[in-house]
């Protein structure tokens, strides 16, 4: 069956059979090699991973948990030597710490965590910068590199742009409102045209607990964005994560953070001009006039699609001239009209409804309360906007909308009520100009199982039973202008399948044809798909393998996969399951997915 050739497809590989087991699987003729795992040393003074004696200090120098975004900055233009940029979105305590889960009468209970465990979690967040090189066709980490760096939930960062220094960003630890400790829940991300690393802060509210009085200035703000979630136990040991003790700390998260990977001592900067919401990704492209356009989804049911256009223009000859481009520009939110047209609405203080009458006293207020400002402008509520990828090859933009089972009323851009499987919207910017403020849009794909009519999936008839997917989350456009989509939660759409990476045709007769290229081990989500510029390597991030399976002492967890588990990638009794970044190469060294 693998010989099935999809008519007109620009992808050439024998597709992987959909399924689920303890291991990962890549298309025949390709190698999938683990490059770095949770706990591997990143900084040059970090110790080897010792899971039974883990400490916050060790974790602060080792590869963090739940790798998500993967970026690559070539050194001297090379696709075989560069800096790997990796986000560490969140932690799964039940998979990290032995003995944390107890089971009584079949009921699993977790915790409480010690302060050391909490501090290990904080250090396992953030990101990693790792120098890597390809030697004899295989990637390896460069030990002792001056670029190797960990960024954690404690790394000191600067707040810059229009909201920097605002009273609403001041705390008892920082009377200036310009210095914050750490970045959290970095989901997708981006790499700028000038080679800096963007970390997008997504579900930051989960780390906070406590309540504010009903009449407090931030109560309504936090309710619209996300009330403190209490998903973690950090507030038990650190007052800044309790909003009743430190009411403004939560306003200091939800931004896009820029890191210069070329200087391991550079202070990361939270760029407030890009707005504050549950940022999923920040991929960019240079517009014809030289301004730079950044796309960002706000991953929440009924939230919005944004883009930021810099005021200044990209200078390809002088890297330093670009280093503060992200502090000055205009943030826009998308309105998708029923007739297939669209408009990008600017979020500018004093314009339209964004005035003192509506509680905005400055651009800082508009940015701190981006969602409320976008509500007032009449943006289109979407089905959970995740990663957004511009495509230089065709002037279009691909928006992953992962699902929205709470939708009771459809609109043209979100056409399915109870949208369990998500869809992909394709934006055609006016004249192919990414800086345009109008355009058209159409739906590239409605996801889900095409063999079930009620699902309403629109994959091409060339798509096999392995090729369809649900819950698009991350995406990549390769140097040939081809689209690749990875999923989060596809496993839940039908037992017997996992998340993975699919190649999706977007042009010609094959448009809507999808093929499975790689799939993850049981319980995992597929993140960070990133091809190198020369297309001979595809980096992928395997996130939370075994989650929803069993913890590493074999205690059952409620799950779809109670009878399955994995110790991927080591398969050793003395090692826990470990989120890892994988480098995929073609056995003959050729280009990925090309004949
Ligand atoms: Fe972290 Fe929206 O996925
Ligand atoms: Ca995601
Ligand atoms: Ca992406
Ligand atoms: Ca997701």
Q: How far apart are the first and last CA of the chain?
A: 18
Confidence of residue 99 (pLDDT cuts 50, 70, 90): confident
The model carries a pTM of 0.97
How much distance in Å is there from the Cα of 509 to the middle of ligand 3?
25
How do residues 26-54 score in pLDDT, each as one tens digit?
999 999 999 999 999 999 999 999 999 99
Mean pLDDT of 526-538: 97
How do residues 111-166 score in pLDDT, each as one tens digit?
899 999 999 999 999 999 999 999 999 999 999 999 999 999 999 999 999 999 99
**518 contacts 574 by C-beta, under 8 angstroms:** no
User: Whose CA is closest to atom 3 on ligand 1?
Assistant: 187
How do residues 457-511 score in pLDDT, each as one tens digit?
999 999 999 999 999 999 999 999 999 999 998 865 455 789 999 999 999 999 9
Confidence of residue 454 (pLDDT cuts 50, 70, 90): very high
The pLDDT of residue 511: 98
Residues near ion ligand 2 (Cβ under 5 Å): 187, 473
Which atom belonging to ligand 1 lies closest to the Cα atom of 278?
2
Residue 428 tokens read as: 């055609």
Confidence of residue 563 (pLDDT cuts 50, 70, 90): very low
The pLDDT of residue 4: 60
| Any atom of ligand 1 within 6 Å of the Cβ of 15 | no
Distance CA 428, CA 262 (A): 34
Residue 524 tokens read as: 């995992």
The pLDDT of residue 493: 45
The pLDDT of residue 497: 87
**421 contacts 470 by C-beta, under 8 angstroms:** yes
| Any atom of ligand 1 within 6 Å of the Cβ of 299 | yes
Please, which residues have CB within 8 angstroms of residue 382's CB and are 6 or more apart in sequence? 297, 302, 303, 304, 305, 399, 401, 404, 413, 414
How do residues 389-415 score in pLDDT, each as one tens digit?
999 999 999 999 999 999 999 999 999
Mean pLDDT of 436-449: 97
| Any atom of ligand 1 within 6 Å of the Cβ of 202 | yes
State the chain's mean pLDDT as an integer: 94
Residue 554 has pLDDT above 70, yes or no: no
């Amino acid at each position: 069956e693998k010989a099935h050739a999809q008519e007109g497809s620009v992808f050439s590989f024998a597709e992987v059979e959909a399924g689920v087991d303890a291991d990962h699987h890549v298309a025949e003729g390709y190698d999938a090699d683990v490059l770095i795992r949770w706990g591997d040393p990143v900084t040059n003074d970090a110790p080897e991973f010792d899971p039974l004696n883990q400490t916050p200090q060790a974790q602060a120098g080792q590869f963090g948990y739940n790798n998500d975004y993967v970026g690559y900055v070539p050194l001297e233009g090379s696709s075989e030597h560069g800096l790997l940029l990796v986000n560490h979105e969140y932690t799964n305590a039940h998979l990290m710490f032995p003995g944390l889960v107890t089971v009584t009468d079949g009921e699993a209970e977790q915790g409480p965590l010690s302060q050391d465990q909490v501090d290990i979690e904080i250090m396992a967040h953030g990101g990693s910068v790792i120098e890597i090189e390809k030697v004899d066709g295989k990637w390896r980490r460069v030990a002792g590199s001056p670029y190797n760096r960990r960024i954690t939930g404690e790394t000191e960062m600067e707040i810059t742009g229009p909201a920097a220094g605002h009273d609403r960003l001041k705390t008892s630890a920082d009377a200036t409102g310009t210095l914050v400790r750490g970045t959290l829940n970095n989901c997708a991300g981006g790499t700028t045209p000038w080679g800096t690393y963007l970390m997008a802060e997504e579900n930051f509210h989960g780390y906070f607990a406590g309540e504010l009085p009903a009449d407090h200035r931030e109560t309504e703000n936090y309710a619209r964005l996300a009330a403190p979630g209490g998903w973690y136990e950090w507030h038990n040991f650190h007052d800044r994560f309790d909003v009743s003790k430190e009411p403004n700390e939560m306003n200091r998260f939800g931004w896009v953070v820029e890191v210069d990977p070329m200087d391991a001592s550079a202070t990361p900067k939270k760029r407030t001009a890009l707005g504050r919401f549950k940022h999923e990704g920040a991929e960019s492209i240079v517009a014809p006039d030289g301004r730079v356009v950044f796309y960002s989804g706000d991953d929440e049911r009924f939230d919005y699609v944004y883009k930021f256009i810099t005021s200044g223009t990209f200078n390809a000859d002088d890297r330093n001239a670009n280093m503060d481009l992200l502090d000055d520009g205009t943030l826009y939110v998308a309105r998708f009209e029923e007739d297939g047209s669209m408009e990008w609405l600017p979020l500018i203080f004093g314009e339209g409804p964004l005035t003192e009458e509506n509680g905005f006293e400055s651009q800082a207020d508009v940015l701190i309360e981006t969602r409320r400002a976008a509500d007032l402008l009449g943006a289109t509520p979407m089905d959970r906007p995740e990663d957004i990828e511009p495509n230089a090859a065709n002037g279009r933009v691909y928006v992953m909308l992962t699902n929205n089972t709470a939708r009771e009323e459809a609109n043209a851009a979100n056409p399915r009520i109870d949208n369990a499987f998500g869809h992909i919207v394709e934006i055609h910017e006016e004249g192919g100009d990414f800086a345009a403020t109008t355009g058209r849009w159409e739906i590239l794909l409605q996801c889900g199982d095409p063999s079930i009519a009620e699902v309403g999936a629109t994959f091409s008839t060339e798509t096999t039973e392995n090729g369809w997917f649900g819950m698009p989350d991350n995406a990549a456009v390769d140097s040939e202008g081809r689209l690749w989509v990875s999923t989060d939660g596809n496993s839940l759409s039908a037992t017997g399948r996992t998340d993975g990476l699919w190649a999706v045709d977007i042009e010609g007769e094959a448009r809507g044809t999808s093929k499975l290229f790689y799939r993850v081990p049981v319980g995992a989500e597929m993140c960070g798909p990133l091809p190198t510029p020369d297309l001979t390597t595809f980096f992928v991030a395997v996130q939370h393998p075994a989650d929803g399976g069993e913890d590493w002492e074999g205690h059952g967890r409620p799950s779809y996969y109670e009878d399955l588990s994995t110790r991927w990638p080591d398969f050793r009794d003395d090692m826990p399951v470990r989120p890892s970044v994988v480098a995929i190469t073609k056995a003959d060294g050729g280009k990925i997915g090309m004949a």
